């Protein structure tokens, strides 16, 4: 089959891919695995592009300049149109310095076709919600462009070596197998970086699978028509399984990506062997082909509109807004196809067989400069202007800085551990990211003490437990850090007092139905693979044992910081946007005290059980500092108190310290006062 032969059913497959992706991003209940539509695009690209390169090399007609110029003319005009339109719209939508800076970086990296590396680097604990990154979807275009750059160099280089066709096939197959193995190995889960999801070398096997399809066609042609129909039907079933049965908990891509890859390859191979089979004819119907023709433009337009809809609606995408974004992006895709893509295609056809030369490719590279400059300016100039214009945002950017004298629990300790003045009281601050977030402020306020930090994200202030529900690496790090911390406290570091700070509400499985947005992390023995069946009792016992262990190490004074009020939305963004829109800030961004108390009710029960066993332990309750009788607010006046939904900024931590000064004096050993009544 000639490399220029038009295959209508392949455009029908593109329609399946884009419909799956758009429906998934609309946050419909189904298709839960619509993200696999991107893998369908990868297979189609590998099939078409590798076929073009191999055919051109075999006939002596391949030209690097023509290949890259065709790619530039096909990919870049709609691509840059969407980027510039997104920049224009973003000036009306983005008001938070962090999101403005983030978007500027997205534009900058997308201009260089390396957005996949940007989004991989941003996977982290405090990373902004990916659903609000306006150009997030361009990671897949970056992967494709990197494939278009490397593949012709590789294949032409192999042919130039005058190797036998079988030898070349074996080399490519070996590289594809290595890519697949790497994809399985480097697929991240939980909070780990998912290298396999974003990096082209670990996705290359999918493109290679598409390129291998023509080699299977001669074998498929030997089969009877019913047999080929069965191959195509099995491919459809595999695709349907991936699209409708996978979900966000499926480790992906890993080996699971082989299901949509094989399904797509089987459909294309069967359609090439017998174009008249039912599956190929169904995909080649006019509506499917028409959607396939606008699939690239629709993919480009749909995500920025949905991301902006989430942003202006405080992080949520209602069905009405999702439908509006899908319809508007569809209309924009049609317009882009008619007024951008078709005129370029008509110009190329008018030239006939005349070579394109290097000019379109060079022009495409040059065209990247303007959005790159625009993205750089957006990332480094606009955030400060937004901060200067909004007092809430300015207060959220403020930080307290104080030296942390000693960090334990990590493989290397700060040198300060050994140089702490023996006359100074040493205060252990132990817990998860909430403890880490408070370290600077505690160091500032407890200036007469040396802070000994044992703070690890996703790791509660409890010894000898394993937290199940994060990634295996995160779970293992929690156990190892606590063990190293204990060893340090038994040898070089001897704390006098301890503050236990955690978001206690997420650990352990509580009775009753989970609330919207609520998630749980189950506790288990260190060497166990399953959570303890009675989580509340286990939680209480292990926390009590932790306090006893601290006492046995000479930590005489222990205080527990109770759970903070948890806000419904990321706070700086929510408050600033509500103020700008002149809507009720509390209704949008605050939580009623009643609901906040209910949220922490089960965890407070555990804490009170532990306090009953250890009457010399103090409880620091942040609620009186952050709530009135009706509302718990993420702000005070024009000052932000929250970094996100539950991590406190330094004004909030300072307020809690000042409101509980007696306890903090006691922690530091400053006051002989013995509190007759612990706080509830």
Q: How far is CA 458 from CA 375, 501, 506, 591, in A?
A: 34, 12, 10, 24
Domains, the chain, with CATH or none: 8-389 (no CATH), 406-567+593-634+649-668 (3.40.50.1110)
56-84 burial, b at 16+ Cβ within 10 Å, e below that, comes to: bbeeeebeeebbbbbbbbbbbbbbbbbbe
385-418 pLDDT tens trace: 555 545 555 555 555 555 666 888 776 655 567 7
pTM score of the predicted model:
0.84
pLDDT at residue 424 is higher than 50: yes
107 band by pLDDT with thresholds 50, 70 and 90:
very high
325-372 pLDDT tens trace: 999 999 999 999 999 999 999 998 888 777 888 999 999 989 899 889
User: What are 155's two structure tokens?
Assistant: 């294949």
- What's residue 108's pLDDT? 94
120-159 burial, b at 16+ Cβ within 10 Å, e below that, comes to: bebbeeeebeebbbbbbbbbbbbbbbbbbeebbeebbebb
Q: Provide, rounded to the nearest whole percent, the portion of the chain with pLDDT above 70.
A: 91
Contact 40, 30 (CB under 8 A): no
Which residues are registered as beta bridge partners of 520? none
Question: Of 671 and 99, which is predicted with more confidence?
Answer: 99
16-52 pLDDT tens trace: 999 999 999 999 888 999 999 999 999 999 999 999 9
Question: Of 508 and 186, which is predicted with more confidence?
Answer: 186
- What's residue 209's pLDDT? 97
275 band by pLDDT with thresholds 50, 70 and 90:
very high
Over the chain, what is the mean pLDDT? 88
| Share in percent of the chain as helix, strand, coil (round to 5) | 60, 5, 30
């Amino acid at each position: 089959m000639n490399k220029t032969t038009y295959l209508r059913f392949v455009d029908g497959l593109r329609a399946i891919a884009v419909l799956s992706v758009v429906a998934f991003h609309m946050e419909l209940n189904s298709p839960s695995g619509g993200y696999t539509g991107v893998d369908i695009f990868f297979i189609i690209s590998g099939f078409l592009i590798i076929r073009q390169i191999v055919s051109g090399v075999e006939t002596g007609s391949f030209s690097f300049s023509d290949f890259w110029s065709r790619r530039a003319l096909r990919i870049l005009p709609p691509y840059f149109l969407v980027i510039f339109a997104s920049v224009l719209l973003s000036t009306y939508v983005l008001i938070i310095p962090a999101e403005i800076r983030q978007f500027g970086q997205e534009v900058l990296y997308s201009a260089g076709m390396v957005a996949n590396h940007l989004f991989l680097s941003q996977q982290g604990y405090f990373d902004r919600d990916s659903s609000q990154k306006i150009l997030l979807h361009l990671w897949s275009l970056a992967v494709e462009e990197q494939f278009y750059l490397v593949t012709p160099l590789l294949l032409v280089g192999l042919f130039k070596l005058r190797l036998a066709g079988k030898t070349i096939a074996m080399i490519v197959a070996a590289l594809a197998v290595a890519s697949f193995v790497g994809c399985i190995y480097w697929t991240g889960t939980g909070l780990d970086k998912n290298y396999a999801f974003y990096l082209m070398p670990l996705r290359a096997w999918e493109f290679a699978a598409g390129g291998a399809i023509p080699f299977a066609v001669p074998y498929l042609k030997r089969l009877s028509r019913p047999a080929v129909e069965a191959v195509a039907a099995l491919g459809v079933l595999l695709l349907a399984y991936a699209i409708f049965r996978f979900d966000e908990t499926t480790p992906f891509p890993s080996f699971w990506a082989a299901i949509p890859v094989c399904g797509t390859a089987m459909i294309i191979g069967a359609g090439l062997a017998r174009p008249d089979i039912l599956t190929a004819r169904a995909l080649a119907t006019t509506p499917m082909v028409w959607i396939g023709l606008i699939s690239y433009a629709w993919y480009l337009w749909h995500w920025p509109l949905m991301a902006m809809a989430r942003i202006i609606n405080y992080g949520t995408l209602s069905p009405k807004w999702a439908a509006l974004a899908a319809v508007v992006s569809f209309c924009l895709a049609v317009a882009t196809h008619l007024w951008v893509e078709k005129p370029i295609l008509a110009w190329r056809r008018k030239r006939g067989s005349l070579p394109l030369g290097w000019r379109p490719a060079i022009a495409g590279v040059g065209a990247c400069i303007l959005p790159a400059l625009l993205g750089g300016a957006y990332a480094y100039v606009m955030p400060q202007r937004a901060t200067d214009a909004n007092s809430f945002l300015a207060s959220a950017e403020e930080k307290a800085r104080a030296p942390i004298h000693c960090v334990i629990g990590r493989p290397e300790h700060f040198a300060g551990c050994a140089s702490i003045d023996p006359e100074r009281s040493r205060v252990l601050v132990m817990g998860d990211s909430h403890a880490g977030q408070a370290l600077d402020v505690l160091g500032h306020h407890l200036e007469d003490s040396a802070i000994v930090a044992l703070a690890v994200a996703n790791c509660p202030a409890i010894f000898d437990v394993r937290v199940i529900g994060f990634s295996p690496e995160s779970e293992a790090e929690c156990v190892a850090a606590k063990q190293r911390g204990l060893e340090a406290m038994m040898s070089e570091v001897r704390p006098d007092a301890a503050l236990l700070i955690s978001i206690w509400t997420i650990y352990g499985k509580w009775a009753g139905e989970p609330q919207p947005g609520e998630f749980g992390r189950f506790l288990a023995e260190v060497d166990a693979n399953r959570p303890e069946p009675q989580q509340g009792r286990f939680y209480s016992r292990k926390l009590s044992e932790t306090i006893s262990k601290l006492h046995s190490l000479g930590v005489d004074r222990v205080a527990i910081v109770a759970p903070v009020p948890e806000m419904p939305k990321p706070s700086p963004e929510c408050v600033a946007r509500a103020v700008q829109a002149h809507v009720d800030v509390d209704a949008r961004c605050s939580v009623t005290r009643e609901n906040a108390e209910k949220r922490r009710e089960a965890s407070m029960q555990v804490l009170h059980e532990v306090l009953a066993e250890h009457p010399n332990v103090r409880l620091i309750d942040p609620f009186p500092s952050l709530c009135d009788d009706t509302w718990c607010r993420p702000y005070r006046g024009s000052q932000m108190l929250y970094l996100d939904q539950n991590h406190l900024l330094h004004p909030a931590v300072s307020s809690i310290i000042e409101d509980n000064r007696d306890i903090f004096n006691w922690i530091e050993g400053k006051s002989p006062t013995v509190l007759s009544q612990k706080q509830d």
